[in-house]
Structure 1
Amino acid sequence: MAIAHGRIINRWWVVSRLFLLCGAIIGLALRFYFVKPFPISFHYWLHAHSHTLLLGWIDNALLLLLYRKCFPTISRVEKICIGLLQIGVAGMLVSFPFQGYGPVAIAFSSLHLIVSDVLAGLIWIRIKAFSTAHAFAEKFVLLVRLAVAFQFLCTLGPLMLGYLSAKAEGAHALQHTAFYQLSLFYYLHFLYNGVFFYLLLALWLPLVRVKNFHLYAMAAGTVLTFAHAVLYVHEWWLWSWLAVMGSAMQLGVWLIWVKQDLQNFKQSLGWMLMAAMTLKFVLQIAGSFPPLSHLVITQRFWLMAYLHFLFLGIYTPFIWVMAGVQRKFFSYGLYYLLWLSTEGLLLMPYLFRKTHLAPEVWYACIFAAYAGLVVLLIGITYRLRVGKNGQ
């Protein structure tokens, strides 16, 4: 039985914004922890922060935008899946702060993973029926199916973690092994460089001149750039060159697309988001070799800066654009200024150490910048409405 999707999309958007609010507040509290430590299990709360924003905000928002664009109705099975996804995220949000990767959190994360695969399978089937009256629908279907394929692919990471946990004598000992780290990075890489990225392309990419060869080359680059994650646990020249090959392929395809339709790119995305996308591919090439790859491996704040670059600098503004944000300076522009300031502060701890400023000053500056960023992040998002017609 099919259900009219306007009301479901609106509720889905409300829940997604609620998860954004919770994840952002937790992240801000974690930044304040460095200014004035207070009694919490930091890594437990960090898990809650990352899972809530990745799965509760970005994954939710991209999926609902896809449903808004493609499907005039939502089946009862899909409605159940959407509801179970929210239960999974809510369960992780509540359980992670108190037990980390304990039995309850693992149960909710497993629920979310299984239901995500089921919903991805339903999307694979339904997307073929996406209005053939639309020009270049074939390429749109291909992009969505690439996102679905990467969803299935990234599922192998948690499955490997489960296998390793069963073989290991203790979960704490397992967390320090290379295979544990690789399984985790495998999941994350194909989630945000695979699922999220190809949903982004499907929702936005002007398909007038896009060739299938370019799409397959971009997908091959996504697979090859997993070598960046391998470099994190094992530095070797072969992984560096594989990462460079994949990154160069993606940068080349992206520049071809931009050159072919620059005006459309600028109008639909804006200069800042277009520049951020270009910088992503440039950073992938630069991060394939020392010293940058070594800094990302050894300096946690550098890795955090890159992840925030993706999620706060690309995916979140993209969701805003698709939801109809008005790109005005005092909201959208000011957000980017504050975001750039947080990125700069995360990358410059040694500058503060070489001065007579105490580390607490650096932490306080980061907290202040993030406080302003969170206010704008929540303010801009909560002003947007995502209905059937994007209103």
Structure 2
Amino acid sequence: MISLKKHANIALGYFFLVGLLGTFLRFFFVIPIPANFRYVVHSHSHIALLGWVFIALTTMIYKMYFAEAGFGKIYKRIFWFTQITLIGMMLTFPFTGYALFSITFSTLFLFASYFMAWFILKKTPSHYKSTYSFRLIKAALWYMVFSSIGPWALGGIMATMGSASIWYKMAIYYYLHFQYNAWFILALLGIFFYFMEQQDLRPQKGHFRSFFWQINVAVILSFFLSVLWVEPHWIFYVLGGAGAIFQIMAFVNFWKIISPFWKQLHFSAFLKLLLKIAGAALAFKLVLQLFSALPWFANLAFSFPDFVIGYLHWVFLGVVTVCLFAFLAHHRLLSLPKWVFWLYIAAFLTTEALIFYKGFITWQEMALFENYFRWLAYCSLFLPLTAGILLINNILTKRQTSAKNP
């Protein structure tokens, strides 16, 4: 029997480490630290996407589709192989950056993610494969596989053109786009539709079909928003703008689909509030992407990295992580005290405000307020603090949720 709560705790452990590494990075601007900033950035980003989010999502997907189907041995082998690759990255990236061992472990993780995608796509029981939730999960997994083209391309780009090449950044943006806007978002949507299906709340087939093709067109076209920093031909602005518009259309359609069922959903009032907060954060994300299709805003965003950093953190902490909290709690894989969540939100909003403030001040060529970096570092401490409290609280909570528990 697999204790999925232990797997959720491992995901939370990665989230705690991500918070520590992020805070550590911000203290680089406060006190002298004998470490390589870029190396720590690599570790921070890899553990954020591949540790916390990947493990949390795949744990929930296993809970959804394999509670009665079994295949525990195969899943456990893939799961623990994945942990070896993640621990290897944690032990190598902060000290070596992109070098032999870190590249080896990150490459092995790609294979682990392929194994996980194969396992879910191949072994999911047939009666789930016709559901709306699985269609979204299936698309999310394929986008996750497609996103890996970016990391595979980096080796060749560095060997031939070097890290200063525009193609180096392009490969990274390609990877981030299909992780953030496809794998993460579509997987979360699939989990939400699964909850609806478990309560026999099924939208009309035509409504879902319309939403599904809109969100997929949006994923493909909105990638072009990631290339506007090179000031390309005007057609790329049109394609990126169309992608941003399709995203908005898709989520308006999504709201129309779920709104008739919202009151019937068996989520607690608190978890519904979390989903509303994530929805508000998502709406802001969609507006930012729409504006970024305009040349002036595109140049502004990419000329001042704090805007891009703030956007990435907004999506990661405000949309993805809040949804993960809600879904893990609903799955009974996470004990989520309200006061801890509100402390997390306060830390998230404060640090985001400070990041976007720095971008605005730099753009306006003004002076930051005194001790800005110190305040940003101190406020950031509350992010790993809340993650650590959640982890300890979850470990101490007696209820253990297995793959066969409801």
TM bracket, shorter-chain basis: 0.7 to 0.9
Per-residue deviation, 1:242? 1.1
Question: Judging changes above 3 Å, is the alpha-carbon distance between structure 1 residues 55 and 90 closer, same or farther for their aligned structure 2 residues?
Answer: same
Do the aligned residues in 1 keep the contact of 2:358 with 2:368 (CA within 8 Å)? no
1:326-365 to 2 correspondences below 5 Å: 330-349=339-358, 361-365=371-375
Any idea what the Cα deviations from partners look like across 1:130-160, whole Å, max 9, x if unmatched? 557xxxx521221111012112211222222
Distance in 1 between residues matched to 2:369 and 2:192, nearest whole Å: 42
Distance in 1 between residues matched to 2:119 and 2:360, nearest whole Å: 51
RMSD: 2.6
Segments ≥4 residues shifted beyond 6 Å: 325-328, 353-357
1:41 counterpart (32, 36, 44): 36
The structure, 1 or 2, with the larger RCO (C-alpha pairs under 8 Å, 6+ apart) is 2
Aligned to 1:111: 108
Amino acid paired to 2:139: L
1:161 counterpart (146, 154, 158): 154
TM-score by length of 2: 0.85
What secondary structure is seen at the aligned counterpart in 2 of 1:101?
coil
Aligned to 2:266: none
2:277 counterpart (269, 272, 282): 272
Aligned to 2:133: 140
TM-score by length of 1: 0.88
**Structure 2 unmatched ranges of 5 or more:** 264-268
Distance in 2 between residues matched to 1:64 and 1:255, nearest whole Å: 29
Name the stretch that deviates more: 46-55 or 325-334. 325-334
Aligned to 1:383: 393
What secondary structure is seen at the aligned counterpart in 2 of 1:291?
helix
Do the aligned residues in 2 keep the contact of 1:139 with 1:212 (CA within 8 Å)? no
2:163 counterpart (175, 190, 193): 175
Any idea what the Cα deviations from partners look like across 1:20-48, whole Å, max 9, x if unmatched? 22221111111111122322110001100
Aligned to 1:301: 306
What secondary structure is seen at the aligned counterpart in 1 of 2:371?
helix
What secondary structure is seen at the aligned counterpart in 1 of 2:131?
helix
Q: Percent identity?
A: 24
Aligned to 2:50: 55
1:218 counterpart (195, 215, 218): 215
Per-residue deviation, 1:128? 4.8
Aligned to 1:82: 79
Per-residue deviation, 1:265? 5.0
Distance in 2 between residues matched to 1:90 and 1:359, nearest whole Å: 39
- The answer on 1:281 being equivalent to 2:291 is no
Per-residue deviation, 1:237? 2.6
What secondary structure is seen at the aligned counterpart in 2 of 1:59?
helix
Per-residue deviation, 1:225? 0.8
Do the aligned residues in 2 keep the contact of 1:92 with 1:109 (CA within 8 Å)? yes
2:95 counterpart (81, 98, 110): 98
**Structure 1 unmatched ranges of 5 or more:** none
The total of aligned residue pairs comes to 377
Distance in 1 between residues matched to 2:291 and 2:372, nearest whole Å: 26
Aligned to 1:26: 21
Any idea what the Cα deviations from partners look like across 1:34-65, whole Å, max 9, x if unmatched? 12232211000110011011111011101101
What secondary structure is seen at the aligned counterpart in 1 of 2:28?
helix
Distance in 1 between residues matched to 2:325 and 2:229, nearest whole Å: 32
Do the aligned residues in 1 keep the contact of 2:335 with 2:393 (CA within 8 Å)? no
